[in-house]
A = this chain, B = another copy of it.
Amino acid sequence: MPHPMFEKHRATLEGAVAATKTRGYWSPYNESPSPRAYGETALEDGKKAFEALLGERFTLDQPGQTAWYGGERSPYGVALDIDYPVCDVDVLVAAGLRAMGQWQAIGADGRAGVCGEILDRLNKQSFELAHAVMMTTGQGWMMAFQAGGPHAQDRGLEAVAYAWREQSFVPDHTLWEKPQGKNPPLVMAKEFQIVGRGIGVVIGCSTFPTWNTYPGLFAALATGNAVVVKPHGDAILPAALTVRTARAVLAENDLDPNLVTLCVADTPAVTKRLVTHRSVKSVDFTGGSSFGRWLIDNCRQARVYAELSGINNIVIDSTDNYKGMLRNIAFTLSLYSGQMCTTSQAILLPGRGIATDEGLKTFDEVCTDLGAAISELLAKPPTALGVLGAIKSPETLVRIDDANSGKFGRVVLPSRKLDNPEFPQAEVRTPVLLACADSDTAAYMEERFGPISFIVKTTDSQAAIALSERMVAEHGALTVGLYSTSPAVIDAMTEATWNAKVALSINLTAGVFVNQSAAFSDYHGTGGNPAANASYTNSAFVADRFCVVSRRSHV
């Protein structure tokens, strides 16, 4: 008998699998925070639910609790004062392992169904999650809702769909009949059991605590593993809400809730002990390359899926829509103050300028005009505050000040500090735009996380393409862009992205931006350059998270 949750979510799962193959637009979760989609009271209910959490202990009823710990600092200056259970790592791992037997027994369909139910419930919680994401990350409201809610849920469902598809190729059992000429055939009954590899640890980042956590969480879960979620210390709440919902759904389905637990680490040593535990078989990580490298070097008992630092770039050769191009890039550089792993850091263009629908634009004109486009986009405070959000970390503020001081190159447009009347303590900054020569590699060829971008002068478009390829191959990138009206240049850039293995967006001038990637259609990362050793989401992201254990006997 199919698991009731599988029956309930079967159509969604089938739709998701079909979407991963056709890769057209598809999503079961409405990205519009409208009453029509989420109910008349959803906005208010979500806000209230969020506010009820403030200043309280966040109970999870996990085993091995030893303390309470919190201390998240909101970039909006809101007092969160939430304490989370600190649990012994060995106890969490042991409890996860114990929970895996039942989880294995309900099979791939059952697991996909229960994961679908968890995602459905998270979707209904989108407003509460949006507040949690906004207040912990500094994202603007709309982005926190979309990226933190439905888009993150899309990415989670995408991982479930891939996991379900891969497992569906493994039959439960078969009859193997090998002809023996004139003799009776050899006949064997064979059974195939899908077994999760062990404990999956998912390490969240501070800027996208759901979007970057859900792929690993649901990939590991759907393939039969228990998961310990280790959120970034500055963005615990969205992960804690997610874990609580997952545990509730598991319990309602007579499954051991300890299959999904939250590990709040009060010291870095706790995290290191967790990820190197012998029963931990996968680690999903989003964050800086230095800890990412540490994980890859030290978690030898596990497969590490890591999204690390990179230097995204855009090559400008020519355009037939100069204004549209400037507006598009200006938005990319401004959104969430450039605190995205997909924000472009380096814009490469020929020193002699570019051909446009408005005639030749010199290098300096492009610099000035892009600066003006950013200023124009952010001219009205409500728009600016919504687009920019707040700066998450003090280190980013230091980097912005350094860039403003001219330390990294000529300042085309300095960053400005804006006031947010609603959140007076929020650190709001507009992007800083710098110009430099391609020889100034010390300036631009290092990730400078935040709203800091460089316009880099190259000899010609060919040199820009070669530089783009080299930057991606050596330093990594999740996205590159190109503006060109020349098919030959587009072909050359395409080949450069094949070599360096990075996704390319060409001539974006309208409502799609190079820093966006759409679930079920765009792969987030190729897994083939230093910015990420895995992609969200493809077969490779799920296929090695489970084993098939067979048994056979004569009939």
Contact = CB atoms under 8 A, between A and B. Distances in A.
Interface of A: 20-25, 104, 165-166, 169, 171, 174-180, 186, 188, 190, 192-193, 195, 197, 296, 300, 494, 497-498, 501-512, 518, 521-523, 526-528, 535, 538-540, 543-544, 547-554
B507 A553 contact: yes
A25 B535 contact: no
B171 A21 contact: yes
Interface of A is mostly: mixed
A510 B186 contact: yes
A504 B195 contact: no
A22 B538 CA distance: 23
A140 B228 CA distance: 51
Contacts of A166: 539
What 5 A-B pairs come out closest when comparing CB atoms?
A528-B547, A506-B553, A539-B543, A540-B544, A540-B543
Contact of A188 (B174, B296, B512, B553): B512
A24 B502 CA distance: 40
Given A540-B543, A544-B540, A176 B23 contact: yes
A177 B544 contact: no
Nearest to A541: B543
Contacts of A193: 498
Contact of A503 (B497, B538, B549): B549
A25 B195 contact: no
14 contacts: A21-B169, A23-B171, A23-B174, A25-B178, A176-B521, A180-B511, A195-B526, A501-B547, A503-B549, A504-B550, A507-B553, A510-B554, A522-B550, A540-B540
Given A24-B174, A169-B20, A523 B511 contact: no
B544 A548 contact: no
Nearest to A162: B169
Nearest to A17: B169
Given A21-B169, A176-B23, A508-B554, A538 B548 contact: yes
Query: Taking each of A193, A506, A549, which has the highest tally of chain B beta carbons within 10 Å of its own beta carbon?
Result: A549
A171 B188 CA distance: 38
A518 B185 CA distance: 15
Given A176-B521, A544-B527, A503 B551 contact: yes
A538 B528 contact: no
A526 B518 CA distance: 34
A551 B504 contact: yes
Nearest to A195: B498
B548 A505 contact: no
A511 B184 CA distance: 11
A178 B26 CA distance: 8
A543 B538 contact: yes
A554 B498 contact: no
A508 B497 CA distance: 53
B549 A174 contact: no
A393 B180 CA distance: 34
A549 B507 CA distance: 17
B174 A22 contact: yes
Given A24-B177, A25-B176, A506-B551, 7 more contacts: A24-B175, A166-B539, A195-B528, A498-B549, A505-B552, A523-B550, A527-B544
Contacts of A518: 176, 178
A296 B24 CA distance: 39
A102 B547 CA distance: 35
A156 B346 CA distance: 45
Given A505-B553, A540-B544, A544-B540, A528 B192 contact: no
Contacts of A543: 538-540, 543-544
Contact of A171 (B22, B176, B186, B551): B22
A26 to B, nearest CB: 9
Contacts of A539: 166, 169, 539, 543
B176 A552 contact: no
A72 to B, nearest CB: 34
B547 A544 contact: no
Nearest to A534: B544
Given A169-B539, A552-B506, A23 B522 contact: no
A494 B551 contact: yes
Contacts of A494: 551
A193 B494 CA distance: 10
Contacts of A300: 296
Nearest to A554: B510
A548 B535 contact: yes
